[in-house]
Amino acid sequence: MASEHNDFSIRPATVDDVPLILQFIKDLAEYEKLSDMVVATKALLRETLFGERTVAEVIIGYEGEQPAAFALFFHNFSTFLGRPGIYLEDLFVKPEFRRKGYGKKMLSHLASLTVQRNCGRLEWSVLDWNTPAIDFYKSLGAIPMDEWTTFRLTGNALEELASGLR
């Protein structure tokens, strides 16, 4: 196993981190071969993450002073549990910082937040082809929800349903 670096710290992002957050998002999209899907801007992230009505939170992991990892998450709710949960939208460790245990430290931090906030679960999605991540998550005790299929409405389909045209 790779040795863990002792100089790794995690802190909540601030509005000053918006350019860094956007770069992490772009790096993740490139890794996932989805770069053409990124339409987020600094202004949009500033508003949604740090504006009047924030909808998500970000933590950044640093090796020394170097930003090495980020995670973006938000609260969801389980009607069956009657409690909120945390949904991890994105977790990304820069390639040069991988195999040092930083992904596990980021998830451990999120698990701690989940427990501290009295949430019932921490969950996320992973692309089917990303077997290194799937194997890593399983090693932590995470269970794939194979019986569930994610559905999504965007663009015209979303607009049409919202306006009653569908």
Task: Kindly report the pTM of this predicted structure.
Answer: 0.91
Q: Is 31 a catalytic residue?
A: no
Q: What is the token pair recorded at 159?
A: 């607009």
Considering the domain boundaries, does residue 34 fall inside one? yes
Considering the domain boundaries, does residue 166 fall inside one? no
Instruction: Compute CA distances 89 → 10, 66, 162, whole Å.
Output: 17, 22, 24
Considering the domain boundaries, does residue 29 fall inside one? yes
CATH of residue 29's domain is 3.40.630.30
Q: Which residues contact 41 (CB under 8 A, 6 or more apart)?
A: 22
Considering the domain boundaries, does residue 45 fall inside one? yes
Rounded CA-CA distance 165/45 in Å is 30
31: containing domain:
8-124
Does residue 70 contact residue 58 with C-beta atoms inside 8 Å? yes
Number of domains within the chain: 1
Catalytic residue among 31, 62, 102, 137: 137
Q: How confident is the model over 126-165, as pLDDT tens digits?
A: 999 999 999 999 999 999 999 998 899 999 999 999 999 8
Does residue 72 contact residue 58 with C-beta atoms inside 8 Å? yes
Q: How confident is the model over 85-109, as pLDDT tens digits?
A: 999 999 999 999 999 999 999 999 9
Would you state the pLDDT for residue 17? 98
Q: Which residues contact 37 (CB under 8 A, 6 or more apart)?
A: 29
Considering the domain boundaries, does residue 47 fall inside one? yes
Considering the domain boundaries, does residue 12 fall inside one? yes
For range 46-50, the mean pLDDT: 98
Q: Indicate the average pLDDT of the chain.
A: 94
Q: How confident is the model over 11-34, as pLDDT tens digits?
A: 999 999 999 999 999 999 999 999
Considering the domain boundaries, does residue 67 fall inside one? yes
Considering the domain boundaries, does residue 92 fall inside one? yes
